[in-house]
Structure 1
Amino acid sequence: MADTITVTGVVGTVPQLGDAAGTPVCNFRLASSLRRYDKQSGKWTEYGTNWYSVGAYRYLGKNVAASVNKGDRVVVTGRVRLREWSNQTASGMTVDIDATSVGHDLTWGTTTYRKHNQAEADHADADQAEDAREDGDGFLPDASETPDVPGAPLVETAPGASAESWSTVPPGHGREEAA
């Protein structure tokens, strides 16, 4: 079973779209820093930066290469792997993330979403399903595993419940939740 991680940070290198044995892959480095505001000094204090090597494959990789730039603040979710390395002058450990999802961090700005045509989306879904089967850890949650929180996907949670009885929009932002 693979470990999953979600990291927010700044894209530290220009995302590079390449090819890995016939599969498109986009690679970039992600910097995640911890900063805290010190009330006594009135300044922000940095507590170090963690660096991650991110790889996004297939359509995700193509979309990342077309959408993400160096300096963008992003959220990355994926499978994490620690890899030791050494050369003649140094050695260390790299944290690799095999991305399953990448998006702009909307805490810091806005973005515009553009959906692919249905044929591309169906092909991407089939690729992701095949990857999950190969990894042995892919599954689709049933309704009992979906939390009842605003913003959760529309899911039938009980026999006879309809999608209209649940809202994916927080109260006061358009469609109101059913009582």
Structure 2
Amino acid sequence: MNETMVCAVGRVATQPVYREMASGPSARFRMAVTARYWDREKNAWTDGHTNFFTVWANRQLATNTAASLTVGEPVIVQGRLKVRTDTREGQSRTSADIDAVAIGHDLAWGTSAFRRAGRSETASAPTQPEPNWETPPGGSPDASDVPAQQPSGVPVLT
């Protein structure tokens, strides 16, 4: 199946609207994407045209989107582009929607703290301490810093 996948970098223009549907959670928000270019005459960066997209998220992505995004935040959205043309009252209107696959904060503009969404199956999974992946200055890691098993539980062959 051929689909137009896009990656849009912009800002959240409207507060995400969250709804519980029969098919599962759904969220939508508007995203503003403004082109910037270097104007040689002014010797400065200048804003170009702004495009607005309606971003749609479903299932767990919808829940996380509604809990994480607010107006004005910089975001990166990857998904399927859907261009629609409607005729209302004799006028033709074109809209561009993105059916999101992934949404995240644009870390070029600030920091973000990731929190894993709560799930019932992860609550019962055994937890292991995080191994020390740092290499000590001027040396190689000692045997106590290297995990004895891979995350899948398969022993490491040496």
The verdict on a shared fold, with TM-score over 0.5 as the criterion, is yes
User: Which stretches of structure 1, 4 residues or longer, exceed 6 Å deviation after superposition?
Assistant: none
For 1:93 and 1:77, the matched residues in 2 are separated by 21
C-alpha change, 1:109 and 1:55, in structure 2 (3 Å) is: same
- Check if 1:100 corresponds to 2:101: yes
Q: Which runs of 5+ in 2 are unaligned?
A: 124-132, 137-158
> 1:84 aligns to what?
85
More strand by share: 2
Name the residue aligned to 1:45. Answer: 46
User: Offset at 1:89?
Assistant: 6.0
Match of 1:164 in 2: none
Alignment correspondent of 1:151: none
* Partners of 2:22 and 2:101 in 1: CA distance: 19
**Structure 2 CA distance, aligned partners of 1:32 and 1:121?**
36
Contact 2:87-2:93 within 8 A present in 1 as well: yes
Q: Partners of 2:57 and 2:106 in 1: how far apart?
A: 17
Higher helix proportion (structure 1 or 2): 1
> Relative to structure 2, which stretch is displaced further, 13-22 or 102-111?
13-22
Identity %: 35
The aligned runs of 1:1-179 (5 Å cut-off) are: 1=1, 2-88=3-89, 90-119=91-120
Q: How far apart in 2 are the matches of 1:98 and 1:121?
A: 27
Count matched residues.
Answer: 127
Partners of 2:26 and 2:121 lie apart in 1 by 17
Shift, 1:96, TM fit: 1.0
Aligned residue identity for 2:5: T
| Separation in structure 1 between the aligned mates of residue 122 and residue 85 of structure 2, nearest angstrom | 36
- From the superposition, tell whether residues 65 and 85 of structure 1 become closer, same or farther in structure 2 (CA, over 3 Å): same
Q: Specify the code of the residue in structure 2 equivalent to 1:103.
A: G
Which region of structure 1 is more displaced relative to structure 2, 78-87 or 111-120? 111-120
- Normalised by the length of structure 2, the TM-score is 0.71
RMSD: 2.4
Aligned-partner residue type, residue 29 of structure 2: F
Amino acid at match of 2:100: A
How far off its partner does 1:57 sit? 0.4
